Copies of this chain bind each other. A is one copy, B any other.
Amino acid sequence: MEDIQSSVDSRGIAIQHVGVRDIHLPFQIRTKEGDFQQVLARICFTVSLPQEYKGTHMSRFMEILNQWSAQPVAESEMEAILDEALARLSVASANIEIRFKYFIKKYAPVSGKVSFLDLDCCFYGSKEKGRNFVFELGVEVPSTSLCPCSKSISRYGAHNQRGVMRARLRLREGVECIYIEDLAALMEKQASSPLYPLLKREDEKYVTERAYENPKFVEDMLRDLVIAFRRMPGLEWFSVSCENYESIHNHNAYASHEECVQ
């Protein structure tokens, strides 16, 4: 049976990225405790294509993913996935994005009641033959913000709202990756208050008062995240954004920033 993909292409154009997108698969993510959490992953997996080939072999991407879906994955396994793609598809570079909801345990601040908060996370990996593996970790942390202007000018109350803080981090070579649990804990400290799936009345009093005592503009949260990331050891680059679903508008307040860390 003819292998059209392997036939020669004469256009002289090497393609940077080609592969599969919007694959859904269960994946096992290594946790801080050393075991793993099963997640529902949404995957984009691509390789470069040399100019001489007409096409890549899409079914091999699926074969690689099916295998790795069954094993706990963290930074080093991400590299192994890409190494396998480089070898099996005979190409010079490979990229993968694995997006998933990851659950962290939250203890309500007064009652101590346990619940599980879902965070949108992403593992990004890229590898070029003969170069170092690049890994980036993305985390989105939902949070509460309370407006300092509204608090200051109003006789009582202050508008507050749900928002989301997003970060994407790249560590220096050889630095061990930060865990999602630790990154989320660091980030939610920069909000007016963390969120909790389960709050009893005494907890609701606590988070209401905490947010009121701790008003923050979207700019404040962003700046405090920047400070936190500048201080984080081993970071090479980060990008961060905050988006607040304003309770007094039908649009969002937004701030973003990225920098290489010296």
Whether a CB of chain B sits under 8 angstroms from the CB of A38 is yes
A15 proximity list for chain B (CB < 8 A): 219, 222-223, 255, 257
A180-227 residues with Cβ-Cβ distance < 8 A to B are: 193, 195-202, 204-205, 207-209, 211-212, 217-220, 222-224, 226-227
Residue of B nearest to A241 (CB): B17
Whether a CB of chain B sits under 8 angstroms from the CB of A91 is no
A234-254 residues with Cβ-Cβ distance < 8 A to B are: 243, 245-254
Per DSSP, are chain A's interface residues mostly helix, strand or loop, or mixed? mixed
Q: How far is the CA of A23 from the CA of B115 in the complex (A)?
A: 12
Interface-centre pick from A46, A69, A161 (highest chain B CB count, 10 A): A161
A246 proximity list for chain B (CB < 8 A): 162
Digitize A135-169: 1 where CB-to-B-CB distance is under 8 Å, 0 elsewhere: 00000001010111111111111111110000000
What is the copy number of this chain in the assembly? 4
Whether a CB of chain B sits under 8 angstroms from the CB of A126 is no
Instruction: Check if A116 sits within 8 Å of B25, measured CB to CB.
Output: yes
Of A2-10, A71-79, A80-88, the stretch lying at the interface with chain B is: A2-10
Whether a CB of chain B sits under 8 angstroms from the CB of A31 is no
**With A9-B223, A16-B257, A219-B18: A247-B144 Cβ-Cβ less than 8 Å:** yes
Whether a CB of chain B sits under 8 angstroms from the CB of A19 is yes
Residue of B nearest to A11 (CB): B223
Whether a CB of chain B sits under 8 angstroms from the CB of A56 is yes
Whether a CB of chain B sits under 8 angstroms from the CB of A232 is no
Instruction: Check if A154 sits within 8 Å of B205, measured CB to CB.
Output: yes
Q: A23-B251, A154-B204 are in contact. List 6 more A-B contacts (CB 8 A).
A: A4-B148, A17-B254, A154-B205, A159-B207, A162-B247, A197-B250
